[in-house]
Structure 1
Amino acid sequence: MQKNKITKIITSLLIIAVMAGCVTGCASNTPSEPPASSTPLASGSSEVSESSGDSGSTNTKPIVITWYPNESSNTHEVVRAEVGRLVEQATGRKTEHKLTTDYTIAIEAIASGSADIAIAMGAVGYIEAKDRNPQIDVLFVNSDENWSLDGAKYFAWLCVPAENADEYKSGDTYSIDNIKGKKMSFVSNSSTSGFRVPTSSIISHFVDENLDEDKLIEGGPDMFFSEVFFGGSHQGSAVNLLSGNVDVAAFCDIEVQPYVTVKSGDISTVGSVITVREGADAPFDQYIGRDFTIIAATPVFNGPNVYNPKNLTAEEVKAIQDLFTSEEVASNKILFYDDSVEGAVGLYKKSKSYGFVLTSDSWYDPYR
């Protein structure tokens, strides 16, 4: 009798367990997010972790997009609105923008999760953020003109006022031989093309000086530079040069392209002369027609757009990637503008960057 009672108890427990499993299994088949786009991932792209976001219920919190100071200006207001609109289109969620006045604010925002997406970061800033939070990853990156990563590069410049360019002449070209003792402007010590790349070039060029980054961030009579300024943005560093505050300045071509035009040469060639164009927004409107000369130009991998999975599901991340790497976005004239049209501005020149592509974290290993 006792044996039959035990058998019945075990049987009852098994039935309850099976029923519970059925209920759990059925509930897990109910989608909590809209189906992701069917566009396939590009070959060699990074995959989104299945642990991204909270899959337990529909998330209605706004997606926060943060921007470096470079794109926090009024000049980029339309670009920011368009990126927000596209993220909303992909996810069905509202977006908010977190503008910044310092690189470290944007880096901390994406690392901490107070921002969900960071647009147009540089390699160094991304690496700093990932060192703080290994969960963040590359969302997508702007391509070269052939919609690939092969030539996906921009240029870190060292520039001087055109009227003083002869001081840096070296035969038929220009050199950084004579920058020692000058007043120097960088962007931010978290900037790839506005600090890390130019300081690396200076350190390797002046081997006998036994330089390191610490010896280049301060000026003085016993230092390499007489004075050192930080513009806070690429535009700020360029203005330091144009205003006469410094003799030499580091900044990149992409961030000043809405304000300048090539007068002679091209963006990748030492000795090219760049001029502030008519109609340039403030503060460049004070320097229209003023020229500067490139004395060093170093190619740099295009900077990543980054996401933090804390407030995004894997399905949402993939939906954003699918939309932004589509022909629809590649044809978007706000994000990829036709630079053959006089006065056209946007985020990237179509002649240099066809659209967005996927890549992996390891693509930025050369900057680690």
Structure 2
Amino acid sequence: MKKTLIKFGVLLLLAVFAVGCSKGNASSEKEEAEVDDVIDVVWYPNESGEDLKSSRDEIGRVIADATGKKVEHHLTTDYAIAIETLVNNNADVAFMGAQGYIEANKSNDAIQPIVVPTGPSGTLDDAVYHSWLAVNVDDQENYKKDGEYSLDTIADKKFSFVSNSSTSGFKVPSASILAHFTEQEEYKDLTEEDLMEGGPLFSQVLFGNSHQGSAVNLLDGNADVAAFCDTCVENYVEVAEGEENKEGSVYKVKDDAAQPFNKVAGKEFTLMSVTPVLNAPFAANMDTLGEEDFKKLQEALSADEVANNEGIFVPEDSGESALFFKTDKERFAPAEDKWFDPIRELQ
């Protein structure tokens, strides 16, 4: 009788364990199913501001309509977090700079480009934006030699980059700075790593963590020179003197500029250097998104309907804040991994 009770007890425990495992597996399968019905989109700090919510939401609507799935937006305050979120299979799609894409693809070859915003021609031939080196307008003469702007003048200054994963806010300007200074005996051994900290070239190095943050570092006096790009600050500034994206042109922060520029409204800066940079892609994690949804997104985003959607490609003269503006034939176009090789060659 005792042995029978013991056997019954063991069987009961096994039954309970089996039921528990069955429930656990069912729960896991449910969670996986829920994850499969959601497309997670992660955004860099530059595109995470409240003023760009309407652009993010409209792009999310296109993604949802194309796939029949729910879209969840993940906003970040750090480039590395956005990149790692995609690389580590915690997001399906990201809008990221060329350098960030290259880093992500190097870490996980499942990361592939979906589309890239074109230039005014509607092709990738002129799909570029611009990396700026800027100085405060009152100090601009201090950055000239023989009447011309010179990189020699930035030595021993307080310098602000965006992030070491930023294309136009670090990779491109650092390549130009290294190419210039390593020709000089004093700086012949200068490396990219040296540019990330005070000395041997700069007296102090700051990182804005976004293009907006780097620009504000300059305008509030924490930095003497700052690297940031045109497209990430165009919602907050306007040309006060000269032409867009021309060396020597002066930009002024709009009086009604949104955060973080509201605290430096009216301040001006001058461009001492302007360098074209390949446009940023929407990239996918093929392991989490899947080939079917990848093709749906590429087709939907490249369609004329999106190109003509004024909620995505906002008319330049609208006065509204947006991620993308329409000046002529701008649209999204598919791009292959090799299109980013010119940025890879800066490594």
Q: Same fold (TM over 0.5)?
A: yes
Aligned-residue offset at 1:352: 6.9
Deviations 1:263-288 (A, max 9, x none): 12233211011110121101211112
- 2:194 is equivalent to residue 215 of structure 1: yes
SS, match of residue 216 in structure 1: helix
Aligned-residue offset at 1:363: 0.4
Contact preservation (8 Å) 1:334, 1:345:
no
Contact preservation (8 Å) 1:339, 1:345:
no
Contact preservation (8 Å) 1:68, 1:102:
yes
| Contiguous gaps of at least 5 residues in structure 1 | 1-56
Contact preservation (8 Å) 2:144, 2:153:
no
Question: TM-score, normalized by length of structure 2?
Answer: 0.85
Contact preservation (8 Å) 1:140, 1:359:
yes
Counterparts of 1:111-130 in structure 2, within 5 Å, are 111-119=87-95, 121-130=96-105
SS, match of residue 119 in structure 2: coil
The whole-number CA distance in structure 2 between the counterparts of 1:110 and 1:241 is: 31
User: For residue 69 of structure 1, what is the aligned residue in structure 2?
Assistant: 45
Aligned-residue offset at 1:333: 1.7
Aligned-residue offset at 1:169: 2.3
Contact preservation (8 Å) 2:99, 2:166:
yes
SS, match of residue 178 in structure 1: helix
Contact preservation (8 Å) 2:93, 2:284:
yes
SS, match of residue 150 in structure 1: helix
Which of 297, 301, 311 is residue 320 of structure 1 equivalent to? 297
Aligned-residue offset at 1:215: 1.2
Which of 317, 330, 334 is residue 354 of structure 1 equivalent to? 330
- 2:220 is equivalent to residue 232 of structure 1: no
User: For residue 249 of structure 1, what is the aligned residue in structure 2?
Assistant: 226
Counterparts of 1:130-209 in structure 2, within 5 Å, are 130-206=105-181, 207-208=183-184, 209=187
SS, match of residue 317 in structure 2: coil
**Greater alpha carbon shift after TM alignment, 273-282 vs 185-194:** 273-282
Aligned-residue offset at 1:309: 1.6
The whole-number CA distance in structure 1 between the counterparts of 2:276 and 2:63 is: 30
Aligned-residue offset at 1:61: 2.5
User: For residue 71 of structure 2, what is the aligned residue in structure 1?
Assistant: 95
The amino acid across from 1:87 in the alignment is: I
* Corresponding residue pairs, total: 308
Which of 324, 329, 338 is residue 306 of structure 2 equivalent to? 329
Question: TM-score, normalized by length of structure 1?
Answer: 0.81
Contact preservation (8 Å) 1:142, 1:353:
no
The amino acid across from 1:167 in the alignment is: N
The amino acid across from 2:241 in the alignment is: S
SS, match of residue 151 in structure 2: coil
Q: Percent identity?
A: 46
The whole-number CA distance in structure 1 between the counterparts of 2:52 and 2:269 is: 23
The whole-number CA distance in structure 1 between the counterparts of 2:139 and 2:232 is: 23
SS, match of residue 340 in structure 1: helix
